Amino acid sequence: MKSTLLLGTRKGFIAYRFQNNKWILENCSFEGVPISIAYADPRNGTWWACQDHGHWGVKLQRSKDRGQTWEEVIAPAYPEGEEVKDGVPATTRYMWSMAHGGKNYSSRLWIGTDPGGLFVSEDEGNSFQLVESLWQHPTRKDGWFGGGRDLPGIHSIIVDPRNEDHIHIGISCAGVFETTDGGKSWAICNKGLRADFLPDPNQETGHDPHIVVAAPSNPDALWQQNHCGIFRSTDGARSWQEVSEAEGPARFGFAIAVADDNPDQAWVAPADSDVNRTAIKGALVICRTDDGGKTWKQLRNGLPQENCFDIVYRHALVSNGDAVVFGTTTGNLFFSPDRGEHWQVINNYLPMIYSVQFAE
Amino acid sequence: MALVKFTYALKRFFPKLTDTKAGGKTLKAVLAEIEASYPGVTRYVLDDQGRLRQHVNIFIDGVMIKDRASLSDPFHENSEIYIMQALSGG
């Protein structure tokens, strides 16, 4: 298990370190400032904080000394004159995902934003440019819309480690898009998904994948917790199959994590329907499948089972080896050393948790 | 010259920020002068398209500006321009 946890929370950037069999708070930066994504670049150890100042807009900070000092770099900005829709000027409203470009592109970073623009840096994050090919995609202005946020947003960026020009992204609401040429062109990968909230649930775009992840041990095995259920692909997102439980909690939710060493093992954090968005029957449950979604096991040992309202946001459930960690909307942080069989509390008194990441 | 004043909240990010005289004839010109003295500050006040951010206000001699998109509100040579934040959040 990696020994560091980075948290993006409503009230700051928080890092925990596992020492002497306990998670100890190592760093708290930007107290009071919402951090949409706390990200560690595994290539060089740089920490990134995507800030969402309520008044002053989004800001991007990086630290090369584990949060001791931070440097503000210029956040992704839309070129002059760009519009979300006709008459709606484009400005970066939120940074919703961050990914490194891979070993062969050691200076490359990706950031996904609301209102739907993907940005790339080729200079280690000193500057970011809008990926025009996606922004100009013919489906964008009429086929994408808000979901979770008021305008479309890119919350998932998956770089294929076998070919780092091969990237999937997840957009709410549009769906899954794929490039095989480093972002020059994009294909839609929504076959098999359902958008029950649309007049035509099988529409080409307008889907709401809350989060999309790929199995590290097999990047063609992708999973998504969608607004309309849990979906899995075994063919690199060319097609999706629903693997939700017909009777059972594993259906609606926001987060999904897949095991490092097993593309058939994944965890979800179910919530009570898109109408309520609370813990199911006042009890917190994580569900795990060990067979590619055919069956789901409820994992409750150590989690609150009454008077509980927590749900788990899309970037706040992660696994690493046998360890699984998730943070909740009411500031609870839980750790399992055994793939979810038993849970321990790391902290009950954190701010609302937006993102969790394992880091070295 | 107009006198530009700032909300204390901006001093968290720009500790040296202080009342500043500016000779520009338009708000955009004034902000460009401020940017030269405090690099980066206009990105806190204006969005990607140069509009006043939603939860930021500018008052000229006590009156809130009307043109938040292109910042064309007039002012006088001795005007006081106050950049403040809206009271929101939680």
Would you say A201 and A194 are in contact if contact means Cβ atoms under 8 Å apart?
A: yes
pLDDT digits (tens, 9 = 90+) for A28-87: 999 999 999 999 999 999 999 999 998 999 999 999 999 999 999 999 999 999 999 999
Preceding amide of A50 cis, omega within 30:
no
Give Cα A213 to chain centroid, integer Å: 8
- The ipTM, to two decimals, is 0.90
Euclidean distance between CA atoms A116 and A92, whole angstroms: 9
Residue A134: which pLDDT band, with cuts at 50, 70 and 90?
very high
C-alpha A323/C-alpha A193 separation (Å) is: 30
Q: What is the pLDDT of residues A244-263, one digit of tens each?
A: 999 999 999 999 999 999 99
Query: Using the beta-carbon criterion (under 8 Å), do A54 and B9 form an inter-chain contact?
Result: no
Helix (H, G, I), strand (E, B) or coil at A150: coil
For residue A219 the two structure tokens come to 């990047």
Q: Which of B44, B50, B88 sits opposite A56 (nearest CB)?
A: B44
**pLDDT confidence of A115, banded at 50, 70, 90?**
very high
Ranges of each domain in chain B: 2-85
Q: pLDDT at residue A155 above 70?
A: yes
Instruction: Measure CB to CB from residue B48 to each of A53, A72, A91 and give the nearest one.
Output: A91
Q: Tell me whether residues B43 and A74 touch, CB distance under 8 A.
A: yes
Residue pairs spanning A and B at CB distance below 8 A: 50
* A81 close contact with B: CB closer than 8 A: yes
CA distance A110 to A157: 8
Question: CB distance from A77 to chain B under 8 Å?
Answer: yes
Provide the pLDDT for residue B86: 80
Domains of chain A: 4-359 (2.130.10.10)
Q: How much of chain A exceeds pLDDT 90, in percent?
A: 98
* CB-based contact B48 A92, cutoff 8 Å: yes
B86 and A78: CB-CB below 8 Å? Answer: no
Q: How far apart are CA A308 and CA A252, in angstroms?
A: 17
| Dihedral sign (CA A349, A6, A8, A271) | negative
Which of A57, A72, A81 is closest, CB to CB, to B53? A57
DSSP assignments along A235-296, one per residue: STTSS-EE---SSSS-SSEEEEEE-SS-TT-EEEEE-SHHHH-S-BTTB--EEEESSTTS--
How many Å lie between the alpha carbon of B41 and the closest alpha carbon of chain A?
9
From first to last of its 90 residues, what are the pLDDT tens digits of chain B?
A: 999 999 999 999 999 999 999 999 999 999 999 999 999 999 999 999 999 999 999 999 999 999 999 999 999 999 999 999 887 655
> Which positions in chain B touch A126 (Cβ < 8 Å)?
none
Find the DSSP H helices in A125-176: 132-135, 140-143
**Cβ-based neighbour number of residue B63 at 10 Å:** 10
Contact, A13 vs A35, CB < 8 A? yes
pLDDT, tens digit, 9 for 90 and up, residues A271-299: 998 889 999 999 999 999 999 999 999 99
Domain B2-85, what architecture? Roll (3.10)
Q: What is the mean pLDDT of residues A173-190?
A: 98
- Which member of A59, A75, A80 has the closest CB to residue B49? A80
Chain B residues touching residue A151 (CB < 8 angstroms)? none
